[in-house]
């Protein structure tokens, strides 16, 4: 598995993480198979959130992982907080502290390697968040911190009040969600791709050594479904298959290789619980697409160049 530097540190993390959003749909033995498949492929980074499956995903993970032979220190385990389903976003100190305690209990852990704030809270008080982070770190409950779906200004605002460096920003990025790179190539144009909806965060991340974590790497829209083997995207799947045949892998590996080919050293979140899909996706980390192959996929996905 390709390894990358985490944020501004010298700590090495895998270029892929296993997202456990759908683990609530699996039995404990099935969850163990998925975790083991990821671990065997070099993916020793887990990404969760307190809202996944209403907390059940973390419960299943906790039960599964506690019965496995993998040592805790061999895994990097991350969770997210800040969304109160159907009610509000909540970055209050009280909510953050309480949520972490519940996460640790569900996952049967003594600490999290990373805590990520899950989608921006319009009522965020950066000083209050800083107090929560300091308390969690001092208590040994969280080692590192990050955010999810923050724009550049929101990221800077929070960072200005923290004693810790933010390591991550989770952003949607895939062959069918390319806004972060479209506008740069359509600079000085008036077409739809020229609109910057991500406040140039990818460039900011490269300048300030922030690890971008790409979520939904095989999805189109937000949660409409996968573009892999989807009849609605014939040109893209034809190009994916062409390159998959060349590299003797599956389509998932090529879609993953496309993300990892970007020089920002993006970490990709694999959300599948299918061991075969996990293993095939992991093969993408060993492939370095040529520039032409990368652009061929970009164009086959329905994008165009000015």
The residues assigned a catalytic role are: 52
Q: Which residues contact 132 (CB under 8 A, 6 or more apart)?
A: 93, 96, 97
- Angle of the 93-107 helix axis to the 56-66 helix axis, nearest 10: 40
Query: Closest Cα partner for 17 from 298, 220, 266?
Result: 266
| Residue 88 vs residues 30, 48, 153, 215: alpha-carbon distances, Å | 33, 19, 21, 22
Please, are residues 300 and 239 in contact by the beta-carbon 8 Å criterion?
yes
| DSSP sequence for 102-136 | HHHHHHT-S-EEEEEEES--TT--HHHHHHHHHHH
User: Angle at the Cα of 109 (from 101 to 127), degrees rounded to 5?
Assistant: 40
Asked whether the beta carbons of 228 and 237 are under 8 A apart, the reply is yes
Instruction: Say if strands 112-118 and 142-148 run parallel, antiparallel, or are unpaired.
Output: parallel
Could you give the CA distance from residue 76 to residue 268 in angstroms, rounded to a whole number? Answer: 14
User: Alpha helices, DSSP H only, in the chain?
Assistant: 28-40, 56-66, 93-107, 126-138, 152-159, 179-185, 201-208, 234-247, 251-260, 275-283, 291-300
Beta bridge partners of 14: 3
């Amino acid at each position: 598995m390709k390894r990358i530097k985490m944020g501004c540190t010298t700590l090495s993390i895998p270029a892929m993480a296993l997202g456990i959003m759908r683990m609530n749909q699996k039995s404990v033995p099935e969850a163990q198979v998925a975790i083991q498949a990821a671990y065997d492929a070099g993916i020793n980074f887990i990404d969760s959130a307190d809202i996944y499956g209403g907390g059940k995903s973390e419960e299943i993970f906790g039960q599964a992982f506690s019965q496995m032979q993998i040592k805790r220190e061999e895994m990097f385990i991350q969770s997210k907080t800040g969304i109160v389903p159907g009610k509000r976003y909540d970055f209050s100190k009280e909510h953050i502290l309480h949520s972490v305690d519940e996460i640790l209990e569900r996952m049967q852990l003594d600490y999290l390697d990373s805590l990520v704030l899950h989608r921006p809270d319009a009522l965020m008080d950066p000083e209050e968040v800083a107090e929560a982070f300091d308390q969690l770190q001092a208590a040994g409950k969280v080692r590192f911190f990050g955010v999810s779906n923050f724009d550049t200004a929101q990221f800077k605002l929070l960072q200005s009040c923290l004693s810790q460096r933010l390591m991550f920003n989770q952003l949607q990025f895939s062959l069918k969600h390319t806004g972060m790179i479209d506008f740069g190539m359509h600079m000085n144009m008036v077409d739809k791709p020229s609109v910057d909806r991500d406040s140039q965060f990818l460039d900011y991340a490269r300048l300030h050594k922030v690890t971008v974590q790409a979520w939904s790497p095989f999805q189109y829209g937000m949660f409409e479904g996968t573009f892999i083997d989807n009849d609605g995207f014939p040109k893209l799947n034809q190009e994916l298959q062409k390159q998959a045949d060349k590299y003797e892998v599956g389509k998932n590996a090529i879609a993953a290789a496309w993300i990892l080919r970007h020089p920002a050293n993006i970490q990709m979140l694999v959300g599948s619980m299918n061991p075969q899909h996990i293993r095939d996706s992991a093969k993408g980390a060993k492939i370095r697409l040529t520039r032409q192959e990368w652009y061929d996929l970009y164009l086959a996905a329905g994008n165009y160049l000015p």
